[in-house]
Structures are given as C-alpha cells and as structure tokens.
Amino acid sequence: MSNILITRKENCIKCGSVFQAKALFNDKEKFEEMCVTCVARDRLRNDQERAKIASTKRRMDMLKLTPRQQGHTFDNYNIREQQPSKCCSIVRNFLADFKNGNKDNLVLYGTTGTGKTHLGTALAKSVVNDTNSIVLFREFTALMQEIKTAWAERASTHYLMKSLKECDLLVFDEVGTNKNPHIWDKNIFFEIINHRYEHYLPTVLLMNDDIDAWAEREDPRVVDRILENVKLAAFNFQSYRRRSER
C-alpha cells in the first residue's frame, strides 16, 4: 500500500505551470512542488555550480602560492600614496584588459619590498577567480632548478614545459636575479617565451632590475618579444617592509 503513487494537479512553485504532482498514498502532504522541467534545470544548475567551484579550486592549487602570497589581494594593497596607487592601477587595468581578450605582456620592475609580488599574486588569483583561465605563478630561479633536477633524474620535463608554454597567463617572479645565467637557462627561457609569443599568450615578469638594465643583460630574443606589446609599471619607491608606519 505504501508504494502506491497518487497524483493531483498542482502549480509548479518555480514556473507556475500546471503539472501532475505525485505523492505516496500514505504521505499525501508531500506532493511534488516542481514540474520535471524545473527539477531538471535546478539539478543542472547545481551540477554546474559544483563543477565551477571544483575548477576554481584546482586552478588555484596550480598557482602553488606560499601562505604569505595567498593573503595578497588588490584590496589589502595600500594605495594611500601616489606611486603605489599608480602601479596598482596599471595592474588592475591589465586584469580588466586580459579579461577582455587583450594579449599584452606586463612587466613590474623596481625597488625591493614595493609590492611587485603582492600585486602579481593578487592578479594571478583574480584571473583564476574571475575566468576559466589556467594561470601559473613561478619563481624563476626555483623553476629553472626544478627543470634541471627533473633532467638530471631523467624524469620527463615535457609536461612541465608544456604547461609553462601553453597556460593562459604565466607570471614569472624574480626574473633576472641570476646575473650570469647558463646558456641552458637562457635557452629554456627563450623556448617558453617564444612559444607564448607565437601563440599570443601573455606573460607577466616581476623583477628588481630597471627595465633598461634588464633589456641590456637579458637574451635580446626574449627582450624583443616581451617588449613588443607590453604594459610597464615602475615600482621605484620606498620598501613597504621597512616602514615604521604602514
């Protein structure tokens, strides 16, 4: 008896259309409230929301940010002073342009402790949150070491190189720290930048060197490609780390 279904006409609480609502014979209070179309639509929306949350989490994990970097946002970057404010606007505008399909590169350069890594990570996280893009954030020297170690251990670097070449946005932190790079490092850097250049994939470089000093010392093939279409922000002001009053 308990499994017998009874039906009656109801108005769907979502779309208002009349449908045959079912209930169990001994639970007449529990007639269905939504038509099949609305039930299916709700289920699909829930599935899509779950998939989006999972995708954002997966892509956020791919950034491999340190605990300190995870705390960096545009909102907690202090813009009371003119120069940091201007730099922050350049990065924010780059984000807006990237979301609109602009393929320019971005270079943040200048004094230590001024917030290049802060804004670089804020940018990377915003792109992950606001779009479906794959973003990678890597410290340059550590990455080169990672590739070298993989080579030495005869592990495949194919996947790593492929992800660096093909991700939608690549952020390299601490570029140019090694003042005397091996030809091997130079070739790896060129291989990545050249692939990205050929496929209109934007790259962000964070560095301490002044842009002219970097351009003079870096592989000209890399410099030419990065600077062809680039937004520049000069962080030439006092370190935030050593401020008494923040």
Ligand X SMILES: Nc1ncnc2c1ncn2[C@@H]1O[C@H](COP(=O)(O)OP(=O)(O)OP(=O)(O)O)[C@@H](O)[C@H]1O
Which residues of the chain form contacts with Mg ion (CB under 5 A)?
117
Q: Is 116 in the site for ligand X (CB under 6 A)?
A: yes
| Residue 77 makes contact with ligand X by CB under 6 A | yes
User: Per 3-state DSSP, what percentage of the chain is helix, strand, and coil (rounded to 5)?
Assistant: 50, 15, 35
Closest CB to Zn ion among residues 12, 123: 12
Query: What are the CA-CA distances from residue 36 to residues 18, 43, 48, 238 (Å)?
Result: 11, 11, 18, 63
CB closer to ligand X out of 190 and 240: 240
Query: Which tokens is 210 given?
Result: 């002044």
Q: Nearer Cβ to Zn ion, position 14 or 186?
A: 14
> Which of the ranges 108-116, 147-155, 183-191, 220-228 carries the binding residues for ligand X, by CB under 6 A?
108-116
Q: Whole-number minimum distance, CB 30 to Zn ion, in Å?
A: 18
Site membership for ligand X, residue 74 (CB under 6 A): no
- Greatest CA separation found in the chain? 87
**Nearest approach, Cβ of 19 to Zn ion (angstroms)?**
7
Distances (CA, A) of 121 to 5, 74, 127, 220: 57, 9, 10, 27
Instruction: State yes or no: residue 176 binds ligand X (CB under 6 A).
Output: no
